Amino acid sequence: MHSMRWIFAAAFSVGCVACSQSGHEQAANKAPATPASTPKTAAAAPASASTIGIDLSAIDHSVKPGNNFFQYANGDWLKKATIPDDRSSIGAFLTIYNKTQKRVDQIIQDAGKAQPAAGSNQAKIADYYAAYMDTSAIQKAGLKPLSSQLDAIKGIKNRADLSRVLGSRLRADVDPINATHFHTDHLFGLFVTKGLNTSSKNVAYLMQGGLSMPSRDYYLSSDKAMAGFRDKYRDYVTAMLKQAGVKAPAKAAQTVIALETRIANAQTSLVDSQDVHKAANLWPADAFKTKAPGIDWNDFFKAAGLADVKQIDVWQPHAVTGLSKLVASQPLSAWKTLLTFHTLDRYASLLPKPYEELAFEFHGHTLQGVPQQQPRAKRAIDATSTDLGDAVGQIYVKKYFPASSKKQVQQLVKNILAAFDSRIDTLDWMTPATKAKAKEKIATLRVSVGYPEHWRDYSNLAISATDPLANHLAAEKHEYEHQKSKIGTEVDRGEWWMTPQTVNAVNLPLQNALNFPAAILQAPFFDPNADPAANYGGIGAIIGHEISHSFDNTGAEFDAQGNLENWWTPADAKHFQAATSALAKQFDGYEALPGVYVSGKQTLGEDIADLSGLTAAYVAYHDSLNGKPAPTIDGLTGDQRFFLSFAQNWQSKMREAALRQRLNTDVHAPPQFRAETVRNLDAWYKAFNVQPDAKLYLPPTKRVHIW
């Protein structure tokens, strides 16, 4: 299922699933011997990994910390790590994901053995999984489960019919991990949350879509690799349409790609989509016909179940206008061919084997370099956990997230919030008026740990033990109806946008709230028995990252009530912009692939959060020592362990094709560069005795300090 980028959900990172796991290895900076400034593992003072909380075996002592800190912290691990054949990457996030998936698998298997009451959540979990695994039934059904959608497409005779079909396909494919840019094959997507300029009501947002490849750059870029992807895409579209019995499939594929290329041209860029000031466009429903002519909007909204909605925020108005023009100008036959392909492509994993294999070969192998598809059982676990998220999550937290862990993490959050608050007091560049507003945001920030207060109700979601595609379609519809039901209602600041079994965390600027799911609160990020330095450098930096999103280049645009409001004095805003521009320039200099650099502007929000979060976590760690010196463990000081723990958060290795996709579609910098955030903290230089001749060395005046 495709998804949205960072709109209201300032995501931390996803690790194994997609956006933060990359593994382009920089060349190691070798030294003849371990220098005096590089800490050694002392045999005289052994400590188990569970005590120290960092992976001592991962450290490459032949690399100077000041030359390449990512390589120093993870180099020996990188030498041994092998990306699984069914994965695009491997790393710390995958470690946690694998633990979590085994637990979810156990929940599903237990549900199947329990003979639960019909209609119960356990029964739905068991039936959903069983249907997904019944490949013989899928093979026998063929395309029949999609007949209503395909017949509706075939029945399009005029623009009104096309508008109705487009409206009926509107879905809320929201993924807060990757939100601002609605990346979906449906022409538009729906997102429902608090209005940008309203203090208490939820509004509907209409987002751009219409593409099956990851982003508009895959259609428009002159890069040689992108051109190669387009050639493979043409072959894939041709094969998929041929498999479905479409006449002249090669010609039909050219039609699909030509129309998608026009859609890509009409779309708003990722960087522009991140500008919230361009997104506050509340259009009356009856104004769409004049503002974006081409679609029969009355028919569209009626088919989408939005006929009674009086106003909708158009996040990318230029794109909505352009896409509507295409509906009017491009032949109906082209739209019918496009919609047919998009339907097959979207649901290929639940269709007979030839469709499933074609889709994996392109989306998995070609675009991400993954040699082989995951076993169906693993995909069934993920699908069940996604479509019945809270049903699985409710059991997950009872079995695997003890109250003691929740309490410990809540205390960490409290300590880091206090550190962030105290940091505001030390900012000599910020005026008292702006400081007061910043402190108000901290004081009113709502932090939820582990799981939501209220669980999703699945009582009206019908799940079959024999029809997996019907189950997924029903789950899509259920989510869409849930999101629609929120339009015009009071904002629930406690609403969760992730399930407890999600290995991630999220900041929600419009709610001024944070979600820390239970699954991310485990080793190697968090170990209740680990040394505090490791926990503060690990999960503490992640917590600080999420808090910092409230003050990144987008979060800083919102006040304590989640309203889009300028609470900065002109002088403060100027300083903030100068500091963040310097950070963007720093990341612009990182070469991820030969000749391909990170876009500092694209990743700026995440880079600010990494830097500010690490800074706050460091302050909180030292506050937790209560004035006492940190112990030295295995030859490592407390500060060394703190920074190593942070760098090992980003322990990762990624296939080149997947990394290229991340660089074009993701707001997170590749992990190896996120680890180098340490070069902006004065304490890191002291901890590792980093001298001016080191490659990562920045003169004090060039180190970026924001919060």
| Residue 655 is assigned to a structural domain of this protein | no
Supply the pLDDT for residue 51. 79
Region of residue 45 (phi > 0: left; psi between -120 and 50: alpha; otherwise: beta): beta
Residues 531 and 584 reside in one and the same domain: yes
| Residue 517 is assigned to a structural domain of this protein | no
Residues 72 and 215 reside in one and the same domain: no
Whether pLDDT at 486 is above 50:
yes
Supply the pLDDT for residue 200. 84
Residues 72 and 123 reside in one and the same domain: no
Q: What is the pLDDT of residues 192-209, one digit of tens each?
A: 999 987 768 999 999 999
Residues 61 and 198 reside in one and the same domain: no
Question: How far out from the chain centre does Cα 138 lie?
Answer: 31
Residues 385 and 255 reside in one and the same domain: yes
Q: How many CB atoms lie within 10 A of CB 456?
A: 18
pLDDT bin (cut points 50, 70, 90) of residue 39 is: very low
What DSSP designation does 187 have?
A: S
Q: With 0.85 as the threshold, say if the pTM is over it.
A: yes
CA distance 3 to 89: 20
| Residue 478 is assigned to a structural domain of this protein | no
Q: Residues 675, 548: contact at Cβ < 8 Å?
A: no
Q: How many CB atoms lie within 10 A of CB 534?
A: 30
Into how many domains does the chain fold?
2
Residues 127 and 205 reside in one and the same domain: yes
CA distance 659 to 653: 10
pLDDT bin (cut points 50, 70, 90) of residue 271 is: confident
Whether pLDDT at 22 is above 80:
no
Q: What is the pLDDT of residues 496-526, one digit of tens each?
A: 999 999 999 988 888 889 999 999 999 999 9
Contacts of 351-358 spanning 24+ positions with Cβ under 8 A:
351/138, 351/142, 351/143, 351/146, 351/469, 352/138, 352/139, 352/141, 352/142, 353/135, 353/139, 354/243, 355/240, 355/243, 355/244, 358/236, 358/239, 358/240, 358/243
Percentages of the chain per state (helix, strand, coil), in multiples of 5: 55, 10, 40
Percent of the chain with pLDDT over 70: 91
> What is the b/e burial string over 644-668, where b = at least 16 CB atoms within 10 angstroms of the residue's CB?
bbbbbbbbbbbbbbbbbbbbbbbbb
| Residue 251 is assigned to a structural domain of this protein | yes
DSSP states along 427-481: -TTS-HHHHHHHHHHHHH-EEEEES-SSPPP-TT----SS-HHHHHHHHHHHHHH
pLDDT bin (cut points 50, 70, 90) of residue 554 is: confident
| Residue 24 is assigned to a structural domain of this protein | no
- Structural domain boundaries enclosing 561: 55-87+409-450+525-650+670-702
Q: What is the pLDDT of residues 373-393, one digit of tens each?
A: 999 999 999 999 999 999 999
Supply the pLDDT for residue 30. 31
Region of residue 195 (phi > 0: left; psi between -120 and 50: alpha; otherwise: beta): beta
pLDDT bin (cut points 50, 70, 90) of residue 174 is: low
Supply the pLDDT for residue 564. 85
CATH code of 445's domain: 3.40.390.10
